[in-house]
């Protein structure tokens, strides 16, 4: 449905602090004031051009980033595979082809990030870590060539995952590192894409994730912690991969995540009493397709077969009006700086909000001009659905490697 109407002004509700002003309510009011100005300016101008995705500017920002970064990115020296993934995924959402020479250069760079022990580090010569391993595998699957798939040492990767597995079913993020739900998701994601997912590797993992769901309904980093959008996505997506999402209280989770869409701004917050942030356009909104699927499998008759269970137009309006940098790239909220992380997840959330379902049930809700339409993204892996299929089919042709006994024992 191209040219969808923006949310009606009457549907927006500003914060009511009941006369008790706190630092939290003051910050929220400040953000609402800024967003109000943007919405009012849009209403006054009456220009449909207000709802335009600045595709060319975003493309040039991303294209430059693949080849050259400013000194401001020195702090991300241990996250270089992430930069590859954020940029490549943003480009595929914009339907911008990746030149073969660039793709080959990325493959060669990521091969230098791969550790002899298995997995990928944040840069060449760095220790392996599950977060850049996830990013590297996703980036290679986006490229999707024989060269890209050939970079991944599946046997060593399986051994590395076994070395991180804990007796309670959880995973370390790296050897000697912390445990949280991100590691379970990163492990499940790379294992399922590369056909190294085994029952032994994930024994007890689903049950451990389920224990991270708290009284709020969302999922915390570890059992007993506050529910958080990033951890909740990771937990739910990992359980979808493991086909164990029924272990969660899905109704409680639905209640929590739908409550994270801001009544005034239209974007999502990461936790209760936090500010809107463009990155949660994916981490929170991306949960809704996963929940929809899980509830549909239970035969829930109340589910729509045309819309996700959040305000798709309101989220698109927030991203298009409040999260685009005039020079290209996307951002957290008005007043913040652009970066590749927020560019990736704002665009990913915009794609989720534009596309419902797949196949015969596919419906589109495109706010603004038809050219705003992005490529669909897979809600579990956050790469293009056809890239997921290509990777899975490629690695299914190869047998599951057997890890060395020492690695399996760990």
Asked whether residue 333 carries a pLDDT value surpassing 90, the answer given is yes
Is the distance from CB of 121 to CB of 131 less than 8 angstroms? no
Question: pTM here?
Answer: 0.94
33 is catalytic: no
Question: What are the CA-CA distances from residue 208 to residues 45, 185, 191, 203, 211 (Å)?
Answer: 52, 12, 18, 10, 5
Residue 407 in this model has a pLDDT that exceeds 70: no
What pLDDT was estimated at residue 344? 98
Q: Tell me which of 153, 212, 339, 387 is the catalytic residue.
A: 339
Spatial contact of 218 and 253, defined as CB atoms under 8 Å apart:
yes
3-state secondary structure of 172: strand
Q: Are 342 and 332 in contact (CB under 8 A)?
A: yes
pLDDT at position 129 is 98
For 95, how many CA atoms within 13 A lie in the half-sphere containing its CB?
A: 8
Catalytic residue among 129, 342, 355, 375: 342
Pair type for strands 2-4 and 366-367: parallel
Tokens describing residue 212: 């991270």
162 to 187, 188, 218, 225, 320: CA distances (angstroms) = 10, 12, 28, 26, 43
In the predicted model, is pLDDT for residue 8 greater than 60? no
Token look-up 């829930």 returns: 300
Average pLDDT over residues 180-207: 98
Q: Which of 61, 280, 341, 345 is catalytic?
A: 280
Query: What's residue 406's pLDDT?
Result: 59
Predicted pLDDT of residue 44: 80
263 is annotated as an active-site residue: no
SS3 62: helix
Catalytic residue among 153, 180, 277, 311: 277
Q: How far apart are CA 110 and CA 30, in angstroms?
A: 42
144: left (phi over 0), alpha (psi -120 to 50) or beta: left
Range 111-130 average pLDDT: 98
- Residue 120 scores a pLDDT above 60: yes
Choice among 4-8, 54-58, 101-105, 315-319 with the minimum mean pLDDT: 4-8
Q: Is 342 a catalytic residue?
A: yes
From 107, 113, 186, 279, active-site residue: 279
Residues forming beta bridges with residue 269, ordered by sequence position: 276
Catalytic residue among 162, 260, 271, 355: 271
Catalytic annotation, pick one of 234, 332, 346, 381: 332
The answer to whether residue 89 is catalytic is no
165 contacts 171 by C-beta, under 8 angstroms:
yes
| 128 within 8 A of 117, measured Cβ to Cβ | yes
Q: Is the pLDDT confidence value at 408 over 90? A: no
pLDDT tens digit sequence for 340-394: 999 999 999 999 999 998 887 899 999 999 999 999 999 999 999 999 999 999 9
**363 - beta bridge partners?**
356
Separation between Cα atoms, residue 40 and residue 37, nearest integer Å: 5
Q: What is the pLDDT of residues 279-304, one digit of tens each?
A: 999 999 999 999 999 999 999 888 99
pLDDT-above-90 percentage for the chain: 86
Summarize the confidence of residues 256-281 as an average pLDDT.
97
274 is catalytic: yes
Query: Residues 18, 22, 28, CA angle at the centre, nearest 5°?
Result: 85
Burial class (CB in 10 A: 0-12, 13-18, 19+), 117: middle
**pLDDT for res 404:** 73
**Torsions phi, psi of 104, nearest 5?**
-65, -40
Per-residue pLDDT tens over the stretch 40-73 = 988 887 655 679 999 999 999 999 999 889 888 9
Provide the pLDDT confidence category of residue 5 given band limits of 50, 70 and 90.
very low
């Amino acid at each position: 449905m191209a040219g969808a109407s923006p949310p009606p002004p009457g549907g927006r509700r500003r914060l009511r602090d009941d006369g008790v002003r706190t630092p939290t309510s003051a910050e929220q009011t400040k953000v609402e004031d800024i967003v109000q100005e943007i919405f009012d300016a849009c209403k006054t101008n009456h220009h449909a051009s207000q709802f335009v995705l600045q595709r060319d500017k975003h493309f040039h920002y991303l294209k430059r980033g693949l080849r050259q970064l400013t000194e401001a990115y020195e702090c991300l020296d241990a996250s270089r595979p992430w930069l590859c993934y954020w940029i490549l995924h943003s480009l595929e959402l914009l339907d911008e082809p990746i030149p073969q020479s660039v793709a080959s250069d990325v493959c060669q760079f990521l091969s230098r990030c791969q550790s002899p022990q298995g997995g990928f580090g944040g840069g060449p010569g760095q220790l392996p870590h599950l977060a850049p391993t996830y990013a590297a595998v996703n980036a290679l699957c986006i490229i999707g060539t024989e060269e890209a798939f050939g970079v991944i040492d599946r046997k060593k990767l399986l051994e590395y995952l076994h070395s991180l597995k804990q007796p309670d079913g959880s995973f370390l993020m790296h050897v000697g590192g912390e445990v949280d739900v991100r590691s379970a998701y990163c492990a499940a994601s790379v294992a399922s894409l590369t056909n190294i997912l085994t029952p032994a590797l994930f024994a007890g993992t689903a049950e451990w994730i389920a224990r991270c769901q708290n009284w709020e309904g969302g999922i915390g980093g570890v059992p007993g912690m506050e529910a958080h959008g990033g951890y909740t996505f990771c937990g739910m997506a990992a359980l979808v991969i493991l086909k164990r999402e029924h272990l969660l209280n899905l109704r409680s989770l639905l209640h929590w995540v739908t409550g994270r869409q801001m009544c005034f701004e239209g974007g999502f917050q990461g936790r209760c009493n936090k500010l809107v942030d463009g990155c949660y356009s994916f981490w929170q909104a991306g949960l809704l397709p996963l929940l929809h699927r899980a509830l549909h499998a239970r035969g829930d008759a109340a589910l729509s077969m045309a819309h996700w269970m959040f305000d798709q137009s309101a989220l698109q309006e927030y991203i298009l009006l409040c999260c685009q940098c005039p020079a290209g790239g996307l951002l957290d909220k008005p007043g913040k700086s652009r970066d590749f992380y927020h560019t990736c997840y704002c665009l990913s959330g915009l794609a989720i909000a534009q596309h419902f379902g797949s196949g015969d049930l596919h419906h589109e809700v495109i706010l603004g001009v038809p050219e705003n339409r992005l490529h669909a993204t897979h809600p579990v892996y956050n790469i293009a659905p056809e890239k997921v299929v290509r990777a899975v089919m490629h690695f299914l042709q190869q047998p599951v490697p057997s890890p060395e006994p020492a690695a399996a024992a760990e």
